[in-house]
Amino acid sequence: MSRRGLIAPHGGKLVDLVATGQRADALRQEAGSLTRIRLGEREQCDLELMAIGAMSPLTGFMGRAEFNSVCERMRLPDGLPWSIPIICPVSTEQADRLTVGQRVALVDDRDRLLGVMTLREKYAHDKKQECEKVFGTQDAAHPGVAVTLAQGDVCLAGPVEVVTPRHEPEFTERRLPPARTRAAFEERGWRSVVAFQTRNPIHRAHEYITKCALEICDGLLIHPLVGQTQKGDIPADVRMKCYETLLAGYYSARNTMLTVLPAAMRYAGPREAILHAILRQNYGCTHFIVGRDHAGVGSYYGTYDAQRIFDEFEPGEIGITPLRFENSFWCKRSGAMATDKTTCSTADERVSLSGTAVRDMLARGQRPPVEFTRPEIADILIAAMGK
């Protein structure tokens, strides 16, 4: 814990790369004469997270030594745990026009200025290494691999100064940077805070595990990811309606907060679970829920691989504490939510539905059983699917 009681940021210091005042004005003026590098959606998300300190201690896009160390050892060169490389890939043609030491303007997909990078290094983007080590596969059907394979063949590295972390951001009232979530936790007197990562609406199983976790912590941060996701995922605005409705009706307002994480979803399973935990430590959380198939997709990862990967680090190396939950379901025998740890019921005494079955029911305008999801949430999803 830090002197003021909150958990220390990863690496010990909360980074702030957002320029303000005269410095921001100077960067805008300078950027007008600089070569412009258009960032992809993943890189835009990463830049925003670096800028606000969510990716502390990173201060820029990674160089070759960092890339290799993270891919091979899940550590930065100094030994600090880090599981996914944060890079800025560009085409070979773009890279050939740049010189190490040069300053470049980073812009979004509409050519709006985000920040300025001092180019320290150019190196070949080893996509095979990244895919094998981070995603555990080179299968282009994997959404994270597909994004990686489509990226440029050269990586640019160097420190960044950010003028605008994101133009026209969604959910501005919920888009709190780590410094503000930490201040909110202190104001509420929370010494222990558990974070829940989600990219889906919260159903009864999620509600159960978040409330179990809240029983041992002062506060709960519902922290949905609202950055880049894959086609077919439920849109962020629909999910936010679900979260707000659920929290208003079924959670204690004194002990629960809802803010968003503007991160790109990589679907990297175990590796991404580590990154998600580190990000939440920087936001001030002391505990992190890791459930079944965290950050997984398809059948690329084992059901609980994202929990086991934390055992590859020594106690305390990752400051935040993972809370490992098994698959939960409504148990007819118990008349309550349960897991294999807490009930002796048989399979036919459990209410458990596949994602496909739930989507089919919602598409037909049919509510899933109340034991699976709250009816208010089902109605929001049915209305959204009917548009």
Residue 245 structure tokens: 């409705």
CB 280 within 8 A of CB 248: no
Scan for tokens 């968003």, then name that residue: 260
**Nearest 5°: phi and psi at 222?**
-80, 115
d(CA 28, CA 358): 49
Active site residue 327: no
CB 81 within 8 A of CB 278: yes
Residue 145 structure tokens: 């691999």
Shortest CA distance to 62 belongs to which of 28, 35, 85, 32?
85
Catalytic residue among 73, 191, 200, 367: 200
Shortest CA distance to 171 belongs to which of 232, 244, 220, 109?
244
CA distances from 231 to 9, 39, 145, 317, 357 (A): 33, 20, 14, 35, 18
d(CA 270, CA 290): 10
d(CA 316, CA 8): 12
Catalytic residue among 166, 175, 182, 199: 199
Active site residue 199: yes
* β-strands 103-107, 113-118 pairing: antiparallel
Active site residues per annotation: 199-200
